[in-house]
Chains A and B, each alone.
Chain A
Amino acid sequence: MLMPPSVPTAVSGRGLAADPGSFRDPTTRVFHADGQVLRGLDPRAAADWRALAATEFFSRLLAEGKVCGTEIVDPESVPAGTAGRWAALLRHERIPFVSYPYEWSFAMLRDAALLHLELLQAAVPAGFTTKDGSAYNLQWRGSEPVFIDVGSFEPAREGEPWAGYRQFCQTLLYPLLVQAHLGLDFQPWLRSRIDGLEPGQMRRLFGGIRRFRTGVLTHVHLHDSLQVRYADAGTGAVRAQLRDAGFSRDLVLAMLRGLDRLVRRLDWRPPPSHWIEYRDTCGYTPADRAAKERFVGAALAEAGRPNLVLDLGANDGTYARIAARHAGYVVAVEGDPAVADQLYRRLRAEGERRILPLVMDLADPSPGGGWRGVERGSFAARAQADAVLALAVLHHLAIGRNVPLPEVLDWLLGFLGAAGPVGRLVVEFVHPDDPMTVRLLANKPAGLFPDYRRDEFERLLGERCRILRRLPLPSGTRTLYLGVPRG
């Protein structure tokens, strides 16, 4: 963990590239240089940082890893012209894999919300607040949430409410309410709206007796009514009026405690029928399972400790855990939000910091989003890995979603584009006569996938990879391959 040292250190980097997702607050900006994450601060933000760095609460949060490691660096060491307008430069701890709230499971979003509230409850008594309340202020070290937006802390002004409350509602509380109270997956809502759900939209979802569900009457209905009623009142005037009416720091704390209690009460579990249906899709014999675990373990052990492994179709995380023994960091992507949520809860309970579970439909991976489509990076742009596991997933894409086999392979190998000769692809081909494939084929017209055959798959894989090893599983209907990308 990086800590704020008293003496600025040097930056070793030639050019700085501004992070496309960090323009909203003009007083600070995140840059990347040679794998380093830097933050420029204007004179006012630099003064705020110095005040913040001197507080006990911030040092404690840094030491506990709840805020990303941050140290001050010497702006003179940055090439001329790049750091010109910044009065100070910070260097942040590097987050192993950047993910977004629409890729998190319910319990992940809830824990992220709770961390945000915890930080604020520590900051407010010390005379600080955060300028915003966005879910995008948070990232992960495996199953551990971490607050990354150090530039968001600022000295609080007595008698003012929290400026980030609206954003907290829209990007954290409302998605949680939608899933906890209505049982709807929140991810598509967040993915399609960078600023989250608005009170007016939520109000329409929570009409009738649903308005009486925990937290809805005040945070949704009253919130929306007041927004409509005071739509033309400037926030500056309202702040002054609230101060005159006696709004205090204690009220901010009371509000935060209330939000904290509410978020802790929200929970979501899938109906039991979900698990029955799910178990039907996971038919492995113990012998198959053991052989597969050995194959995956050996493939990664030989790969020279990959930095980043993608486990696509991670399921209960069995293979992600095996990968984590041999790799720096594992991103475990699972399409079923309930399965991903259960995996997260287990990893969190174990304190696992090197496996990041994510929710994503592999046939519809996260696109770029926000301003110019790059404020939030696409999954493909973020996921440059050293090894890819695609176990029991190919048939879901090729048959379940009609993606041509060559395209599936090109997509998988695309993640290894920067890995070079150390890149490893571990892929499982589920034969057309496997019970799972038969089940998928039963829902499609006969003869729709004439090329879905083991020999054709091997030919396509061989064109793109040097096949180091193949292993038919004991049940005889699945084959594992280990490949190294050609070229």
Chain B
Amino acid sequence: MDVRAYLDAGSGSLIVQAVVGGAAGVAVAARLYWRRLTGRFRRRPSGERD
């Protein structure tokens, strides 16, 4: 994380911004969701909630 970001922006609060951004944003959210689903980003310890 960038050292300048002093706030916890909230992961959900970051993702919801894609959906609020209209059709192009929904496409980004769908791509993110699909990639998470297919495990592309699963580099975290097992048992962690997704």
B30-42 vs A: 1/0 string, CB under 8 Å?
Answer: 0110011000010
B6 to chain A: closest residue by CB: A25
B6 lies within 8 A of A131 (CB)? yes
Name B1-50 residues within 8 Å CB distance of A.
1-22, 24-25, 27-29, 31-32, 35-36, 41, 44, 48-50
The complex places the Cα of A167 from the Cα of B22 at a distance, in Å, of 21
Q: How many residues of A contact B (CB 8 A)?
A: 55
B7 lies within 8 A of A164 (CB)? yes
The complex places the Cα of A219 from the Cα of B16 at a distance, in Å, of 8
The complex places the Cα of A165 from the Cα of B25 at a distance, in Å, of 15
A250 to chain B: closest residue by CB: B24
Is A223 engaged at the interface, CB distance under 8 Å to the other chain?
Answer: yes
Is A308 engaged at the interface, CB distance under 8 Å to the other chain?
Answer: no
The complex places the Cα of A229 from the Cα of B16 at a distance, in Å, of 11
B8 lies within 8 A of A251 (CB)? no
A166 lies within 8 A of B9 (CB)? yes
Is A222 engaged at the interface, CB distance under 8 Å to the other chain?
Answer: yes
A241 lies within 8 A of B36 (CB)? yes
Say which residue of B1, B14, B44 sits within 8 Å of A242 (CB atoms).
B14
Is A17 engaged at the interface, CB distance under 8 Å to the other chain?
Answer: no
B7 lies within 8 A of A163 (CB)? yes
A242 lies within 8 A of B9 (CB)? no
Say which residue of B2, B7, B36 sits within 8 Å of A167 (CB atoms).
B7
B14 lies within 8 A of A239 (CB)? yes
| Stretch in A253-261, A310-318, A319-327 with 4+ CB within 8 Å of B | A253-261
Say which residue of B4, B16, B48 sits within 8 Å of A218 (CB atoms).
B16
B27 lies within 8 A of A163 (CB)? no
| Stretch in A230-238, A330-338, A343-351, A437-445 with 4+ CB within 8 Å of B | A230-238
The complex places the Cα of A330 from the Cα of B11 at a distance, in Å, of 43
Name A196-235 residues within 8 Å CB distance of B.
199, 218-219, 222-235
A155 to chain B: closest residue by CB: B4
The complex places the Cα of A325 from the Cα of B36 at a distance, in Å, of 64
B1 lies within 8 A of A258 (CB)? no
A245 lies within 8 A of B35 (CB)? yes
Is A154 engaged at the interface, CB distance under 8 Å to the other chain?
Answer: yes
A230 to chain B: closest residue by CB: B11
B28 cross-chain contacts in A, Cβ below 8 A: 242, 245-247, 251
The complex places the Cα of A233 from the Cα of B15 at a distance, in Å, of 11
Is A272 engaged at the interface, CB distance under 8 Å to the other chain?
Answer: no
B12 lies within 8 A of A218 (CB)? no
Is A244 engaged at the interface, CB distance under 8 Å to the other chain?
Answer: yes
B14 cross-chain contacts in A, Cβ below 8 A: 160-161, 163, 165, 235, 238-239, 242
Known: A227-B11, A229-B12, A238-B14. A26 touches B21 (CB 8 A): no
The complex places the Cα of A157 from the Cα of B3 at a distance, in Å, of 13
Say which residue of A44, A244, A252, A259 sits within 8 Å of B4 (CB atoms).
A44
Known: A27-B6, A218-B20, A239-B1. A254 touches B13 (CB 8 A): no
Give the one of B5, B11, B19 with max A CB within 10 A: B11
A262 to chain B: closest residue by CB: B20
B19 lies within 8 A of A222 (CB)? yes
The complex places the Cα of A254 from the Cα of B50 at a distance, in Å, of 27
Is A169 engaged at the interface, CB distance under 8 Å to the other chain?
Answer: yes
Looking at the assembled complex, report how far the CB atom of A223 sits from the nearest CB atom of chain B, in whole angstroms. Answer: 5
Known: A232-B48, A242-B32, A246-B31. A255 touches B9 (CB 8 A): no
B19 lies within 8 A of A258 (CB)? no
Please name 18 pairs of A and B residues whose Cβ atoms are closer than 8 Å in the assembled complex, sorted by A.
A27-B4, A44-B3, A48-B4, A161-B9, A161-B18, A163-B7, A222-B16, A223-B13, A226-B13, A226-B16, A233-B11, A234-B1, A236-B1, A241-B32, A241-B36, A242-B18, A245-B18, A255-B21
User: Given A44-B4, A223-B16, A254-B24, 15 more contacts at CB 8 Å?
Assistant: A45-B4, A161-B18, A166-B7, A166-B10, A169-B13, A226-B11, A235-B5, A235-B11, A235-B14, A245-B31, A246-B31, A247-B28, A248-B24, A250-B24, A251-B17
Closest 9 CB pairs of A and B: A227-B12, A226-B12, A166-B13, A236-B1, A230-B11, A161-B17, A254-B21, A251-B21, A245-B32
